[in-house]
Amino acid sequence: MYQSFIGLEIHIQLLTESKVFCGCTNRFGDEPNTNVCPVCMGYPGVLPALNEEAIRLSYIVARTLNCELSPRAIFERKNYFYPDMPKNYQISQFSSPLGRNGWIDIEYAGKPRRVRIHEIHLEEDAGKMIHAGDMSLLDYNRAGTPLLEIVTEPDMEAGEEAEILLQNFRRTIRYLGVCDGNMEEGSMRCDANVSINLEGQGLGRKVEIKNLNSSRFVKMALNYEITRQKELFGKGGKIVQETRLWNENRDVTEPMRTKESAHDYRYFPEPDLPPFIPGAEFLAKVDKGLVELPEARKARFVKEYGLSAAAADFLVAEKATADFYEQTVKLGAAPAAAAAWLQFDVRKILNRDGKELADCPLTAGRLAQLLSLLADGRIHGKIAKQVLEAVFAEDKDPGQLIKEKGWQSMSDMSQLAALVDQALAANAAAVDAVKAGDRKPLGFLVGQIMKQTGGMAEPRLVQELLKQKIK
């Protein structure tokens, strides 16, 4: 009988070399206050200048999220007095943000859902503060780094749905290469708002939740908050419009004390920055940054390569994996085999060694070579796995490793036939059992020959020969 309404405000740090309005380095983890200059430290008399890559990446996100692009994006000063911003205002956007009225399509509870985007705007991030006893420590390395804010409409209804949206969004920005989406390090941050009301009565009184530094916490905090509000409502209580903090140690939301007047930001146009007008040339550069998104790529993988939805899902999760896969196939590997090897054998080694596909001795060329050796019967399955391990250990091509180690399969039929004859003669009891209809000793006989050849005999051929000879 209750309806819940969830909206998200997502902030992402853009992957630029320099800050958004000055030439300081934009990098996480540097020594405190090394990447600062008079512009981002708010010295008088300085002039901000817009970073063209920051604005390009912003429009790429706006286009990807189906937004109407502002023909005249205006920067405004958001005034507030807090030491994380040395200027006493943040350059942001208010009256004419760069993107509006977009959407993200997700799948929730087995159904397609469209979550509308209210707006997207570019702003500068604030510095970091560490509160230590009676003093606060300030680090302005982050002050002035480009931050893109994406505001959704309150179109979601459960914590799980918000979690899916966030995961989907994260994958998208990583595909676009605009942000690494690391919620723990804070390169992607999320605030949520939620209200409940009786069915059909529209939005309720909005509660904002902050301090959500993983998509799981977003889900947990929202579900906690919906339950809290329903109980309060049910008891005839009043929901207060407020900001609450997620307490990750106690798994609850708690009210945050704020001064109401603090929300009067007195926005006005930034006199030091002209409005940004995206021209045809700029928009062409934006279009070059658009990529095939994970959902579309997944659908194509299923259709074009005949993969299962699960295999395609795995491959498209990271763009690097999907690119690697397609390159392997392009080099001649069978689509199903390449998918299976990446999904199981290769992933197992990467996980074990804590390595990334993009940064390991296995290349698409080497995987394609390995799979072609396997498909041609020059090595058999068990050896192929050994070769894969050797590629990782020795950083050499599969073909070279097989030669060096003498791992070519023994597939010479007359040689194998002689070995089979020997085995049959030495194991008369097993042969009799097979003749009597028991198939189990066949495996034993294959094992004997494999042992004798140090595992090099092609097991498929051995089995065939055995069946021919025991008749």
Burial of 2 (0-12, 13-18, 19+ CB in 10 A): middle
Contact 357, 324 (CB under 8 A): yes
Residues 350-389 that bind other proteins (CB under 8 A): none
In the bound state with other proteins, the residue whose beta carbon lies nearer, of 210 and 460, is 210
- Residue 157: count of CB within 10 angstroms of its CB: 20
Q: Looking at this protein, which amino acid is placed at residue 132? A: A
Nearest approach in angstroms of CB 87 to other proteins is: 14
CB nearer to other proteins: give 264 or 292.
Answer: 264
Site string for other proteins, 393-432 (x = CB under 8 A): ----------------------------------------
Asked if residue 23 binds other proteins (CB under 8 A), the reply is: yes
Q: Which of 5, 59, 89, 140: binder of other proteins (CB under 8 A)?
A: 140
- Residue 179 CB, shortest distance to other proteins, in Å, is 15
Contact status: 25 vs other proteins (CB under 8 A): yes
Task: Specify the residue, 278 or 441, whose C-beta has the smaller distance to other proteins.
Answer: 278
Residue 233: CB partners within 8 Å, gap ≥ 6?
Answer: 2, 196, 239
274 binds other proteins (CB under 8 A): yes
Locate tokens 């070995």: which residue?
419
Task: Answer yes or no whether residue 101 interacts with other proteins by CB under 8 A.
Answer: no
User: Does 280 interact with other proteins (rule: CB under 8 A)?
Assistant: no
Put residue 168 in one of left, alpha, beta given phi > 0 → left and psi -120 to 50 → alpha: alpha
State in angstroms the smallest separation of the CB of 285 from other proteins.
11
Q: Is 227 left (phi over 0), alpha (psi -120 to 50) or beta?
A: alpha
Question: 176, 178, 256: which is closest to 14 by C-alpha?
Answer: 178
Q: Which stretch binds other proteins (CB under 8 A): 20-28, 158-166, 227-235, 299-307?
A: 20-28
**Of 81-89, 93-101, 106-114, 302-310: span binding other proteins (CB under 8 A):** 81-89
464 binds other proteins (CB under 8 A): no
As given in the structure block, the two tokens for residue 264 are 């009067």
Among 3, 9, 11, 41, binds other proteins (CB under 8 A): 41
Residue 43 CB, nearest approach to other proteins (Å): 8
Residues for the chain: how many in total? 471
Q: Is 276 one of the binding residues for other proteins (CB under 8 A)?
A: yes
C-alpha torsion sign, points 314, 315, 317, 318: positive
Residue 239: how many other CB atoms lie within 10 Å: 18
Site for other proteins in 211-250 (CB under 8 A): none
Q: Which two tokens stand for residue 331?
A: 């080099």
Burial class for 42, CB neighbours closer than 10 Å (0-12, 13-18, 19+): middle
State in angstroms the smallest separation of the CB of 298 from other proteins.
32
Give the one residue of 123, 124, 139, 157 binding other proteins; rule: CB under 8 A. Answer: 139
Does 46 contact other proteins by CB under 8 A? Answer: no
Segment interacting with other proteins (CB under 8 A) among 35-43, 103-111, 235-243, 347-355:
35-43
Q: How far is the CA of 99 from the CAs of 13, 60, 123, 405, in angstroms? A: 17, 10, 13, 60
Of positions 203, 240, 277, 413, contacts other proteins by CB under 8 A: 277
**Residue 268 binds to other proteins (criterion: CB under 8 A):** no
# binding residues, other proteins (CB under 8 A): 51
Give me the DSSP letters along 125-179: PP-EEEEETTEEEEE-SSTT-EEEEEEE-S-B-SHHHHHHHHHHHHHHHHHHTS-
Cβ-Cβ contacts under 8 Å for 248 (sequence gap 6 or more): 211, 213, 217
Strands 135-139 and 128-132: antiparallel
Residue 186, token pair as written in the block: 């804070």
- Residue among 3, 32, 230, 399 that touches other proteins (CB under 8 A): 32
Please tell me whether residue 396 adopts helix, strand or coil conformation. Answer: coil
Q: Could you tell me the sign of the dihedral formed by the alpha carbons of 246, 247, 249, 251, in that order? A: negative
Is the four-CA dihedral 416, 418, 419, 423 of positive or negative sign?
positive
Residue 38 found at the interface with other proteins (CB under 8 A): yes
Side chain identity, residue 162:
A
Q: Which is nearer to other proteins, 77 or 297 (CB)?
A: 77
> Min. distance of Cβ 199 from other proteins in angstroms?
39
Q: Which stretch binds other proteins (CB under 8 A): 234-242, 261-269, 387-395, 439-447?
A: 261-269
Query: Cβ of residue 132: shortest distance to other proteins, in angstroms?
Result: 8
Q: How far is the CB of 321 from other proteins (least distance, A)?
A: 28
Contact residue for other proteins among 133, 200, 202, 236 (CB under 8 A)? 133
Q: Which stretch binds other proteins (CB under 8 A): 102-110, 130-138, 300-308, 373-381?
A: 130-138
| Shortest Å distance, C-beta 96 to other proteins | 13
- Which residue number, 234 or 279, has a Cβ lying nearer to other proteins? 279
Which residues sit at the interface with other proteins, rule CB under 8 A?
Answer: 16-18, 23-25, 31-38, 41, 49-55, 79-83, 130-140, 259, 261-262, 264, 266, 271, 273-277, 279, 282
